A and B are shown apart, each in its own frame.
Chain A
């Protein structure tokens, strides 16, 4: 009997003491753990209350919502309440600048196309996401350039616009084909045409793309929009155009510059280092000035580069130089063994860089890349100094309107909210992206 093992019966678990759980427990642990902590809590709460109350009081409670002009606002509440009718009257201009009212739908359509182009990136079962993303960055601007600018099409421009249009058609046809049949557009057409072997299938696929392009050409050449010169562009629209192009350009350019900086070839390395260091050591505002005033001096007479284009080029170059350094940091974090493993398996430089190194490097760089995008988005306010009417300069114009003379704080408050919403969304999205990409790969 003495050999029979003792039987272990686990004791039932006790509930935790009530003072450590729930809201009360949390407050005791975090807000009132000691006397100084409690004092700080009350002080913080008081300051928070004062500030928030002051803002709410000004922006909502005492605010004027209906008035003809600023005089009426002042007569009603003086300066103690916000005068929102001025901002409301200017909202179209804050968003579209001086873009003709009857043409504004073109901008809206352009942005709808952008959204429609990007939607497949979030759809499940779509396999060509990389190609769709690339087409968005490279070809969407071609299509939308005609929507935004309009005017007479030259032969080359028509061809380019049609390229963008064909890409858009391809994106959605491929998306639908992949969601429905699990095959890309070209492959699906080949399947339907009953292609016998791979070579035939590939040829039919290319034929389908060519047909798509011809179709796009036909549609595009029928479009005829009134020209809207870029000096009429402004407000949020202009801000998004400049920062959008800057963002779309700076990432690939930054990657190339960073790779160039690590290149074995001295000429490429020297060029990249010079470019990066030059543009990083000069403030953006200086570069904008340089491009605006000096560039025309270097160009041959008669060649005129439009002011917006100059600003965009300056922003792109500046942003690429910064992005290059961020990417370089990411590349350095990838252990040498990854390159060696790729090389040992017979991958060439471009394959191992784009498939092994960059995906890992970009993942760790997401926070800094998005940080850079946010910075770039806000930095576009600087283009106001070379006479472009971005969101910030547009908001200043409100107070110079004779009806709303001196109305500066309210429009500023309004555009602050706009900037906040955009930047906040970007940063939240980056957090989300980080979380999703990191799944199962925590070290």
Chain B
């Protein structure tokens, strides 16, 4: 298996506070990793370092074998292989759903308008909301917005999808529709790193669960093993709280 993401001794400080303490993690191509851990453990920071929304100060990050240099110019094509879905959707409220999806295609990939719209509609159909294409994001429900956000990220044809608590801002009945979309996506062989506390999702979809605390990876294991026989007391305590 070729590695899709490699973190090698990655450290990150906010001021003098160390949020990541020399993380080592390898995600293979097509692998689906669920990251969990208590609040403030550095899950978001790690996933945001992978696509450089946050700069790490020490260690190396490689995407498909290519190292990130910290230079925006040289990193841009490498980072284009990653797509990100946020907890708060972050759709562009001044554009319609369709424009949200075509926007980066026309401006970053210089795709002709008609082709971009066809691509966008294909992905909106994939997340099953093609009929909402002409609406504005704020006219949609939270679950629909998050599915648009997923379609928008998919439009750029990334090989790796990063999810940072994609269902935490949603009402219970909408969580399912978003998770279903993600399960379908997993079925296509996409490399996925998902920060989530949806343990049902972790059990059925993940190849591996990573547990973090205080900026470190405490343990990682296949979901079966992780839930039935966690090795560390910290993990056990966390699981007893959320299950």
Contact = CB atoms under 8 A, between A and B. Distances in A.
The judgment on whether A and B are partners is yes
Interface of A: 335, 337-338, 340-348, 351, 355-356, 359-360, 363, 440-443
Interface string B75-99: 0100110111010101111100000
Contacts of B152: 345
Contact of B138 (A346, A355, A360, A442): A442
A340 B90 CA distance: 8
B80 A340 contact: no
10 contacts: A340-B53, A340-B84, A344-B82, A344-B153, A348-B76, A351-B108, A355-B103, A441-B93, A441-B94, A441-B138
Given A337-B90, A441-B136, A343 B53 contact: yes
A338 B107 contact: no
A344 B54 CA distance: 11
Main secondary structure of the interface of A (DSSP, over half): helix
A441 B152 CA distance: 19
A440 B86 contact: no
Given A347-B107, A348-B72, A359 B53 contact: no
Given A337-B86, A355-B103, A441-B136, A347 B94 contact: no
B51 A344 contact: yes
A341 B92 contact: yes
A346 B91 contact: no
A204 B92 CA distance: 36
B28 interface: no
A341 B107 contact: no
B135 A347 contact: no
Contacts of A346: 76, 79-80, 104, 108, 156
Given A345-B104, A346-B80, A347-B104, A338 B156 contact: no
Contact of B156 (A340, A345, A356): A345
B145 to A, nearest CB: 12
Contacts, number: 62
Contacts of A341: 84, 86, 90-92
A341 B146 CA distance: 13
Contacts of B69: none
Given A440-B135, A443-B93, 15 more contacts: A335-B90, A337-B86, A338-B90, A340-B84, A340-B86, A341-B91, A341-B92, A344-B53, A344-B83, A345-B104, A345-B156, A347-B107, A348-B76, A441-B94, A441-B138
A356 B92 contact: yes
10 cross-chain pairs, A with B, having the tightest CB-CB distances, nearest first? A341-B90, A337-B90, A344-B84, A345-B104, A440-B136, A346-B108, A346-B80, A441-B136, A360-B94, A340-B53
Interface of B: 51, 53, 72, 76, 79-80, 82-84, 86, 88, 90-94, 103-104, 107-108, 135-136, 138-139, 152-153, 156
A343 B53 CA distance: 7
B78 to A, nearest CB: 11
Contacts of B108: 345-347, 351
A360 B156 contact: no
Contacts of B104: 345-347
A355 B91 contact: no
Contacts of B86: 337, 340-341
Contacts of A337: 86, 88, 90
A184 to B, nearest CB: 13
A351 B107 contact: yes
Contacts of A442: 138
B214 to A, nearest CB: 24
A22 B48 CA distance: 60
Nearest to A356: B92
A234 B168 CA distance: 64
B53 to A, nearest CB: 5
A167 to B, nearest CB: 25
Nearest to A443: B138
Nearest to B73: A348
A338 B136 contact: no
Nearest to A351: B107
A363 B94 contact: yes
A3 B94 CA distance: 54
A348 B93 CA distance: 19
Contact of A440 (B51, B79, B84, B139): B139
Contacts of A441: 93-94, 136, 138
A15 B103 CA distance: 52
A360 B93 contact: yes
A424 B86 CA distance: 44
Contacts of A340: 53, 84, 86, 90
A49 B76 CA distance: 70
Nearest to B96: A440
A338 B88 contact: no
Contacts of B93: 360, 441, 443
A443 B103 CA distance: 22
Nearest to B100: A341
Contacts of B83: 344-345
A425 B138 CA distance: 31
A355 B153 CA distance: 18
Contacts of B51: 344
B164 to A, nearest CB: 10
Contacts of A338: 90, 92
Contacts of A342: 92
A245 B28 CA distance: 59
Contacts of B76: 346, 348
A271 B135 CA distance: 43
A117 to B, nearest CB: 26
A125 to B, nearest CB: 16
